[in-house]
Amino acid sequence: MRTSTLCLLGCTLPLTAMAADNGSNNDWQELDQRLKRLEQQQVSSSAQNTSFSLYGSLRPTLVYSDSDITDEWDVGDALSRIGVKGRTEFAPGWALLAQGEWKINLNGDGSFGDARLAFAGVDSPYGQLSFGRQRPVQYTLVAEYTDIFNNANSPFAYNQESPFFADNLALYQFKLQHFTLMASARFDGEGDNSGADAINAGLGFDWQGLHLGVSYLEQDNFEGELKTGKDKTSAAAVAYSFDNGIYLALAYQYKDYQLTGSEDRDGSTLDAALAIPLSQDYKLKLGYFRFDDGLESDISLDYQGFNTTLEWNPASNVRLHLEYLQQDNEQRATDKSIAFGIRYDFDLNWKG
């Protein structure tokens, strides 16, 4: 900017000298106005074709929990976050994009927590390629459609072992009419694996209110730098939004645990979600979930359960909810909780 301004001054010096010789105050004012206009044009051109947003969601909860260990009240947090994202078009159909998002610990000292998202990439007519911490394909095409509840553990079966975010991820996605193709690989540079530590690919189909999604995830497991096995997960989801506002979604995963030095096993997850509008501002949400880890019964962590949520949306960015959650554990007592929560969203946008 400073170099450009010096060039502009150099171009206007002869005219300035003429104005001084003539002693014309009008010429001085005109030259000053021209220079200011040129500088303003340069500033605006640097932000052309750029959009930027600051967004966030504050989600405190008050929870009463009853388990086999104790019953207690606690102020919790349903994944509050704050983020920034930007996009700049530098050629027709081509753009650079970036996003960062961090947790806010409302159930602690209110400080920023771990990063949820931190990536940058290129969007083009041939698809989008991005690098960094991102949502995995498995979540985007499958689990997200049952993730409609105001709880940090939703979806409740998927939450047990499957990823919500992935570090060191190279992600490609391409949309063609109703289809979305996604593929990713994770490279963390640790352990004895010189290639990808995880691969994840999937295909989504969206038409009117219908979504169909399939995904395959294969990832290596490590303890320190020692590889201990590999997990292979196949997943599918179906969701439909009816014209009357009712929403129904079902997501299933089959997981093959291939363990070094022990017997292989297989497990599964099932998450179902139903949302029913009661009026313009009220909604009833129902969920059922089941997790099976494939272990013997005496050490199994298997569970199933359900939740019921009543939501009130007095404004588009405001939500209050009351939730009852029950989880029946195979080897432990039943966990129950009642939660009252508030959600406040904001999204500030700038365009150049």
pLDDT, tens digit (0-9, with 9 covering 90-100), for 112-150: 889 999 999 999 999 999 999 999 999 999 999 999 999
Percent of the chain with pLDDT over 70: 84
Determine the Cα–Cα distance for residues 74 and 67; give it in Å rounded to an integer: 14
The band of 292, judged by pLDDT with boundaries at 50, 70 and 90, is very high
- Is the Cβ–Cβ distance between 212 and 204 less than 8 Å? yes
* pTM for the predicted model, two decimal places: 0.83
Q: Which CATH number fits domain 49-64+74-351: 2.60.15.10, 2.40.160.10, 3.40.50.300, 1.10.3720.10?
A: 2.40.160.10
Dihedral over Cα of 42, 43, 48, 50: its sign: positive
DSSP state string for 239-281:
EEE-TTS-EEEEEEEEEEEEETTS--EEEEEEEEEEEEE-SSS
- Is the Cβ–Cβ distance between 137 and 183 less than 8 Å? yes
pLDDT, tens digit (0-9, with 9 covering 90-100), for 255-287: 998 877 667 789 999 999 999 999 999 999 999
**If you average pLDDT over every residue of the chain, what do you get?**
87
Dihedral over Cα of 134, 139, 145, 150: its sign: negative
